Amino acid sequence: MLKLGVNIDHVATLREARYRGQPQGEPDPLVAAQLSEAAGAHGITAHLREDRRHILDRDVWRLREIVRTRLNLEMANLPEIAAIALKLKPDIVCLVPERRIEVTTEGGLDVVANEPALTETRRRMNDAGIEVSLFIGPDADQIAASARVGSQFIELHTGRFADAFADEAGRERELQRLIAGATQAHALGLRVNAGHGLNYHNLPALHCVPHLVELNIGHSIISRALSVGLPAAVRQMLVLMDNYPG
């Protein structure tokens, strides 16, 4: 069964647009997490960025208390954030690149160039009982390096696929890259997640990508929730994930 992780960062973004610097505000990302789980989501994803632009420290601590499925903490490989993760003990951390000027994570990690540092963080997380995923593009060298790092998962960056979706040739090219990447990762013993730019229109095309375990989706679900409500938006996405052949 293909699992759905709901990213609640955009709920926190909306809250911070009005209540930044205040001890409370709406909408509450914790309520979004609870509604998503109740609607059938298999996990909750939150990105604690260095600049704290959306998810805040208090959010992740409260999420750890209430999430009953699987808490995925996205994080840059930074000492301050790693220290929080080791105390928080999410079920899994997904290490991502992070730049202050970006709107959202723009690309995958360069695992090849940062292999020793990522290996050390992976070791510390695993020693604390936390699984590790690396957010990477479907590039053969990056996938091989991820296996050498010893991560349990990779998360394939699907942004280029999403951007090319309207162009048939571009869509097929990016799907073939994802298929090759997932196949290589599986052969190396890595479990494969995917995410970035996935929505209700392009997700069914991913059914041809083998070995996927979980899709992490935020913006599209939160956007649709404005018209149909969050539980319905989650359930509609789950319907599109039914019958994934694996």
Q: Among all residues, which ones are annotated catalytic?
A: 47, 74, 196
H helix intervals, 27-165: 29-38, 57-66, 79-88, 115-127, 140-149, 159-164
State the Cα–Cα distance between residues 151 and 139, nearest whole angstrom: 16
State the Cα–Cα distance between residues 50 and 40, nearest whole angstrom: 30
Taking CB atoms within 8 Å and a gap of at least 24, the contacts of 101-108 are 104/219, 105/47, 105/74, 105/135, 105/196, 106/159, 107/137, 107/157, 107/159, 108/135, 108/136, 108/137, 108/139, 108/142, 108/157
Whether the CB-CB separation of 63 and 33 falls below 8 Å is answered with: yes
Torsion of CA 40, 10, 243, 135, to 10 degrees: -120
State the Cα–Cα distance between residues 92 and 133, nearest whole angstrom: 7
185: alpha, beta or left? (left if phi > 0; alpha if psi -120 to 50): alpha
Residue 82: closest CA among 107, 110, 118: 118
State the Cα–Cα distance between residues 119 and 103, nearest whole angstrom: 27
